[in-house]
Amino acid sequence: MFDVAHAGIFPMIFGTVALVLLMTIGVVPVGVITAVYLVEYARETAALTRIIRGAINNLAGVPSIVFGLFGLGFFVQFVGGGLDRVFSGGQFHFGKPAIIWAAATMAVLTLPVVIVATEEALKAVPKGLREASLALGATKLETIWNVVLPQALPGVLTGGILAVSRGAGEVAPIMFTGAAYYLAHLPTKLTDQFMELGYHIFVLSTQSPDVERTKPILFGTVMVLLVLTFLLNLIAIVVRAKMRLRLRQAYA
C-alpha cells in the first residue's frame, strides 16, 4: 500500500489540477460553441436541434461509470489505437490509459453542465443589445463575439465553475482511462498516466489490508481534496467577479 513515510501527496495534487485544467480547456470551448448555436442560430423545431437537446439531456442522466467505459472504448482504444496504427506502427503510445484521455472523458461528462449554464447566460442578454449592434452594421457573428459573449461571460464562467466542481471529485470515469494508484514520477506528457486524489481515496477506502493504519492517510487525502476543490472554485469565482465588475464599469 501507499507508504506516507516514503511518498508525499504532491503527485496526486499535481495530477488532479492537471486533469481539471485539461478538462476545462476541452469542455468550455465546445460547450460555448454548442450553446451559441442552440440559442443564436438553431430553430427550435428543427430535427437537428431536437437531436442535440436530446443528446444533452441523455448525457446529463448517464451514470459516471458509463462514461469511464465509453472513454476506454472510444478515446483509448478507438482514437488512441487508431493514432498508434497510423503514426506509431502499432506500438502503444496513444492507445493506452493517459491523462489526455481521462481529461477528454471528463470533458464529455461535464459538457451538459457547461452547455446549460451558457445557454441561460446567453438568453439573459437583452435582445435590444443584439438589435442595436445589427442596426449599426455589425454582422451576426460580430454581434455574438463583441456584444453577446462579453455580456454572457460571467454565466459561462459559472458553467466552468460547476464543471470544475464535478470534475475534481469524479473517480469512475478516470479509473479506466488514465488514473494510477502509485507512480514514481509526475506526468510529463499527455500520454502519461497520473495520480489523482479521488482515485487514491477510493483505493485506500476499499483495498487497504490494514484499515486502522490507512485511516490517517485517507482522512488527510480527503481534506486535501476538499481544500483543493474549494481553491479551484474560489479562483474561478474571483475571476468571474472581476469580469462582472469590468462589464459594469464598461457600461456605466
3-state secondary structure 101-116: HHHHHHHHHHHHHHHH
Burial of 184 (C-beta count, 10 Å sphere; 0-12/13-18/19+): exposed
The DSSP-derived string for 15-42 is HHHHHHHHHHHHHHHHHHHHHHIIIII-
pLDDT of residue 153: 87
**Closest by Cα among 94, 98, 110, 100 to 30:** 110
pLDDT of residue 5: 56
pLDDT of residue 75: 94
C-alpha 142, offset from chain centre:
28
Q: Topology of 10-246 in CATH?
A: MetI-like fold (1.10.3720)
**How far apart (Å, rounded) are the C-alpha atoms in residues 123 and 56?**
18
pLDDT of residue 114: 92
C-alpha cell belonging to residue 205 = 477506502
At 237, which helix (H) or strand (E)?
helix 211-250
**Closest by Cα among 130, 172, 151, 165 to 40:** 130
C-alpha cell belonging to residue 233 = 472554485
| Domain residue ranges in the chain | 10-246
pLDDT of residue 6: 58
pLDDT of residue 230: 87
pLDDT of residue 186: 87
pLDDT of residue 78: 93
pLDDT of residue 87: 81
Burial of 190 (C-beta count, 10 Å sphere; 0-12/13-18/19+): middle
pLDDT of residue 251: 65
Mean pLDDT by 10 residues, the chain (252 residues): 62 90 92 93 88 88 90 92 82 87 94 92 90 90 90 86 84 90 85 90 81 80 87 82 77 62
